[in-house]
């Protein structure tokens, strides 16, 4: 049985006082939710501070993205080894905001995935379609293209620890959420595509839903057969709402 994950993507939000308030409450909830992996992905300056406050064995920290490079003259970049060095177990890759603002491509994201896995990190790779692509009935072909690049580039590495986050772009930060039925249909499609590539991946790869998940809709989303948890944005900035989502899974 696949182990559930609830991951918090704080994006460009954090402060020392926020960490001091947030972490004890979430750590306590994580301890009470031992069958679920909880991941906190703060901005880079707060990774070490968040990590220092982790007590629960199922509570982990992760980066919001990473460089393809290992070291060198790459100002502003952070490597996989650096993330590991400060205690990260996870890293988010391919978020639509990275694709939009930093020109992350399917190829660069797949290459980063391989780099992360080889460094001992678990990549949470985001895929998803725009509203226009959905309206033009191109949602599945978009997902197939994004997923296909991952599977092609990951041919020579063990992908059993890979985590995929289906995040329809039209539902990120908009308040709009895919219905449980819409989300399940796409998750089932993703798992079917995994089966075509390597049969065992359908059973081992965890697929999360992201896109305006909140305490009110989390339980219905997580009740779907192929949804293994969530990548949470705005609702992960307050301990109370994030803990309710952990409870829902």
Identify the DSSP state of 137: T
Which of the following is catalytic: 60, 129, 167, 187? Answer: 167
pLDDT at position 217:
95
For tokens 């020579």, the residue is: 156
Banded pLDDT at 176 (limits 50, 70, 90): confident
Banded pLDDT at 198 (limits 50, 70, 90): confident
Q: Mean pLDDT over residues 242-249, rounded?
A: 97
Which of the following is catalytic: 95, 97, 129, 187? Answer: 95
Q: What is the DSSP string of 101-131?
A: HS---HHHHHHHHHHHHHTT-EEEEEE---H
Q: Mean pLDDT over residues 52-64, rounded?
A: 98
pLDDT at position 51:
98
Q: How far apart are CA 183 and CA 209, in angstroms?
A: 7
pLDDT at position 174:
79
Q: Report the mean per-residue pLDDT for the chain.
A: 95
pLDDT at position 173:
76
pLDDT at position 46:
98
95 is catalytic: yes
pLDDT at position 171:
83
Banded pLDDT at 200 (limits 50, 70, 90): confident
CB 103 within 8 Å of CB 143: no
Query: Does residue 52 register a pLDDT over 90?
Result: yes
Helix (H, G, I), strand (E, B) or coil at 8: strand
pLDDT at position 83:
98
Domains annotated on the chain, with CATH: 4-248 (3.20.20.70)
For tokens 């060198």, the residue is: 72
Nearest to 230 by CA among 193, 158, 180: 180
Strands 4-9 and 59-63: unpaired
Q: How far apart are CA 232 and CA 77, in angstroms?
A: 24
CB 171 within 8 Å of CB 211: yes
Q: Mean pLDDT over residues 13-23, rounded?
A: 98
Q: How far is CA 45 from CA 4, 26, 99, 135, 163, in A?
A: 27, 20, 22, 39, 24
69 is catalytic: no
Query: Does residue 42 register a pLDDT over 90?
Result: yes
Banded pLDDT at 1 (limits 50, 70, 90): confident
Structure-token pair, residue 22:
């947030």
Say which residue, 53 or 212, is predicted with more confidence. Answer: 53
Q: Mean pLDDT over residues 36-65, rounded?
A: 98
Q: How far apart are CA 8 and CA 172, in angstroms?
A: 14
All residues at 6 or more sequence positions from 100 whose CB lies less than 8 Å from its CB, including other chains: none
């Amino acid at each position: 049985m696949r182990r559930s994950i609830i991951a918090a993507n704080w994006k460009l939000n954090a402060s020392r006082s926020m960490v001091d308030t947030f972490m004890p409450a979430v750590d306590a909830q994580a301890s009470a939710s031992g069958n679920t992996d909880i991941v906190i992905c703060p901005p880079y300056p707060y990774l070490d501070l968040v990590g220092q406050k982790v007590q629960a064995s199922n509570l982990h920290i992760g980066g919001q993205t990473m460089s393809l490079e290992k070291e060198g003259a790459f100002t502003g970049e952070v490597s996989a080894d650096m993330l590991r060095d400060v205690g990260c177990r996870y890293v988010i890759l391919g978020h639509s905001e990275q694709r939009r603002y930093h020109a992350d491509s399917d190829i660069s994201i797949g290459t980063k995935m391989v780099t992360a896995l080889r460094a001992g990190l678990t990549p949470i790779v985001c895929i998803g379609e725009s509203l226009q692509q959905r309206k033009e009935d191109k949602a599945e072909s978009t997902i197939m293209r994004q997923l296909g690049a991952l599977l092609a580039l990951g041919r020579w590495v063990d992908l059993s620890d890979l985590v995929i986050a289906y995040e329809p772009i039209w539902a990120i930060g908009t308040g709009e959420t895919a219905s449980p039925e819409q989300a399940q249909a796409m998750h089932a499609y993703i798992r079917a595509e995994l089966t075509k590539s390597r049969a065992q991946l359908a059973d081992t790869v965890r697929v999360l839903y992201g896109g305006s998940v909140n305490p009110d809709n989390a339980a219905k989303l997580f009740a779907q057969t192929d949804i293994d948890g969530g990548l949470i944005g705005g609702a992960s900035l307050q301990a109370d709402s994030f803990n309710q989502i952990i409870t829902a899974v």
